[in-house]
Chains A and B, each alone.
Chain A
């Protein structure tokens, strides 16, 4: 029942190629003959390596997306962004706190947001980037952490920001601060770690290691399941 796959024309950095219409942008580049080195990581929308800008013939809009997560369209003008410089503040997590003052020392540009919303418009993950920047300005690390969580750090926001903010790095710092200092700790985890370090399970585990395969099989097949 295989249907014939339609071929379409598109342009890679201005040159025309004909490719099957079912491909993603990355696959189309490969189909055209490019051996990709930069701009390709997970091929599944998780790593942010493949940020891309493109236009469609006849359309005024400059579009953006993840090349591995965008299907080709007829008349696309494609280019890859191999690298986009972004600043990362260096810090010692044990020596900073989730406070506006500490954060402003690391990422002063966050407080210069012009409110243009370019970052939000460009985000391939549909994150309200400008909103989490606003949370950061207020020192609301919990909300910023929650809202920015699905960020894949592709850097498209940074490429468009007139205030030179490096949103993804600021957000990552915020999440680390939130988790380290504000998220409630799991009470039992500590207890378990102490028990392991005190050797509480050593004996029982050694018995399992010493057990022969038949015995292990029996234990395994009859273990109770939560």
Chain B
């Protein structure tokens, strides 16, 4: 038992109210109530957390301060001795980033018969994709259709989604499940083969497919294994630090940085796919994050300097259920499946205060309100506040053993630090989880820069201003594959010439003229947590 005596005392209230909460449905918010709680409590509405960009193609648009800091920064290559004509790699399609989007893109490009290489920052698969637990959406049940899925996607996204992107997402979804299965990914099924599917926040049909609570890991390790089987070249610990453009301003490769030898390496390509994932490690507004170590928004920096437009870069997703206590779990994701199975958030009185499957933005805002405004959060020994997530209610509702079967990763993770979630409720608070926007793409994954593609969490437009659970694992495979296919086809048509970093130096000049560089250098590649 790691809960302090005080927490144990408070936990008794949860136990007291539990029997009366079994099977009881807390009312959903009305549209007006949702707007109200978002406007007042969602971090995206805290103006002090944002500023306007002063340079680049989206000059004047509003982004989080921490993102502005990396976009408005100098290049790592300033002063570096570089010979752009000495190239270490020369391929048709260069994929930057070895997560789910990058792996999907590489597989499709390879299938099209062109030469492909993946350059990635950490190990191949050290990525947000590996961490996704809850599931992947696809309308493949008789009572569901891509159109119903579409409505959930755009409604969840606040109707800001680029319609063509949302369409590609939902129409490709069942194809993606079929493709992943053909590669040997194991989804949860009934004995007759029927997919087990459940709800997620904001879904109107049970269309969340899962692989226990290792869904992303299952997808990632399968795709990675297949990339190796196909003999695709993978270069690890070599993040891209700048894009190369050709004399016509088209993407034509990248400068890589060998993290260990600290050399710069030139990779030339006919088309480039950025698949570097999200930016949780920028810790917007001081939030802890659920993201992997390398989620530092590098792709945004690379793309923006080369002139790629962004969309909804000011829209960040805070997952309602991040670990809050014990401190080793701070920010780590408690999968939404916990709520999907009926785990409910409770305040200090053991009372539910919000429907447990509101969309993430609404659910998070309601939790922040409960703690910040109503003062009904649970005070933690660390000095912050949290709310309970009543996981034992799941066992009571669906029967003993449900958690062990359906949430093995969560059970294990909390047990490692002394909490038995079958018997003790979890302590949670919103955590920085996902970048809703990113570099604008079209339905083939093309950015606004010629021959530059973007796929996965770095891309924006698909999910509007709020992504629903299970639609990101989906989007990385859908748009990874689309980008891979298109980039491969396109690579047969282009002959880049005159490789240059002129765009970088021009960007730096513009930056200097506004005086907003502040001596910063980006991409930052790794967050700094050293104690000095």
Interface of A toward B, CB cutoff 8 Å: 1-3, 22-24, 27, 30-38, 40-47, 49, 69-71, 88, 90-93, 125-126, 145, 149-150, 152-153, 172-173, 175-180, 183-190, 192-193, 196-197, 201, 204-205, 208-209, 213, 216-217, 219-221, 223-226
Contacts and interface: CB of A to CB of B under 8 A. Distances in A.
**What's the interface size class on B, roughly?**
35 or more
Contacts of A27: 328, 529
Q: Which of A70, A149, A196, A219 has the most chain B CB within a 10 Å cutoff? A: A196
Interface of B: 4, 6, 31, 122-123, 125-127, 130-131, 133, 139-143, 145-148, 150-152, 154-155, 159, 163-164, 167, 170-171, 174-175, 177-178, 181-187, 189, 191-195, 199, 204-206, 211-212, 214, 216-218, 221-222, 225-226, 228-229, 231, 237, 259-260, 290, 292-294, 326-328, 332-333, 379-383, 408-409, 412-413, 416-417, 526, 528-532
A193 B526 CA distance: 41
A128 to B, nearest CB: 14
Nearest to A204: B147
Given A37-B526, A188-B141, A216-B151, A47 B189 contact: no
Contact of A226 (B4, B154, B195, B205): B205
Contacts of B4: 3
B328 A31 contact: no
B183 A176 contact: yes
A33 B532 contact: yes
Contacts of A221: 31, 155
Contacts of B226: 93
Given A30-B531, A205-B167, A24 B333 contact: no
B531 A90 contact: no
Enumerate the 9 nearest inter-chain pairs by beta-carbon distance, A residue then B residue, closest first.
A176-B184, A184-B193, A41-B126, A220-B155, A2-B383, A30-B529, A179-B186, A209-B163, A180-B184
B413 A47 contact: no
A196 B171 contact: yes
B131 A44 contact: yes
24 contacts: A2-B382, A40-B122, A41-B122, A41-B123, A41-B125, A42-B131, A42-B292, A42-B293, A44-B292, A45-B409, A46-B130, A47-B125, A93-B184, A149-B218, A150-B412, A177-B184, A186-B195, A189-B178, A196-B146, A201-B145, A204-B145, A221-B155, A223-B151, A225-B204
Contact of B412 (A22, A125, A188, A197): A125
B148 A223 contact: yes
Contact of B290 (A3, A44, A185): A44
A67 to B, nearest CB: 11
B140 A192 contact: yes
A24 B292 contact: no
Nearest to A152: B217
A37 to B, nearest CB: 5
